Amino acid sequence: MDKGTYGRKDRLIQEWRHDAYRNREKLPEPSLCSECKALFVNGRWTWNVPETDTHDVLCPACKRIADKYPAGTIEIRGDFYTQHRLQITNLINNVEKQEKDERPLERIMDSTDRDDGTLITTTGVHLARRIGEALSNSYQGDFAFQYAEGDKKIRVQWQR
């Protein structure tokens, strides 16, 4: 019996995720974002200071901010949130700082207060999920997230 004929075929299937803000072509190195001053060097974005002349570009996070097109949304609701808003806001800011220091493209875009809670938008899916996980780990409550089918987006919900 030929193992190649009856082997697992699911390894050939690649998950398709579309990210309109991902660069299709390789950026010239070093490139410096004209807005946030993040540096693209050695194939990744960093907060390093450029040592030589750079090419001016707009990083994917700054493009998302300019277009008002978030990759992540976090909905925070509940009486607990209303009563502990300052502590929860500090936790969210600390998570963002830690994530942003390591990954310059992960940032909070906006925070909007609503009647039933707060809506936070982010430039990346990782930050949104990390904020939701931090809320859940610190304060328990109901935590859920959904990735959009075929698009690089996440929706996080937390309430208590």
pLDDT digits (tens, 9 = 90+) for 75-131: 999 999 999 999 999 999 999 999 999 999 999 999 999 888 999 999 999 999 999
User: What is the rounded distance in angstroms from the CA atom of residue 89 to the CA atom of residue 97?
Assistant: 12
Asked if residue 152 has pLDDT above 90, the reply is no
Residue 60, by phi and psi: left (phi above 0), alpha (psi -120 to 50) or beta? alpha
What pLDDT is stored for residue 16 in this prediction? 46
Asked if residue 22 has pLDDT above 80, the reply is no
Q: Do you find a cis peptide bond into 30, omega within 30 degrees of 0?
A: yes
Long-range contact pairs involving 12-15 (C-beta distance under 8 Å, separation at least 24): none
Query: Scanning the structure block, which residue is given the tokens 């579309």?
Result: 18
Share of the chain above pLDDT 70, in %: 84
User: What is the rounded distance in angstroms from the CA atom of residue 57 to the CA atom of residue 22?
Assistant: 13
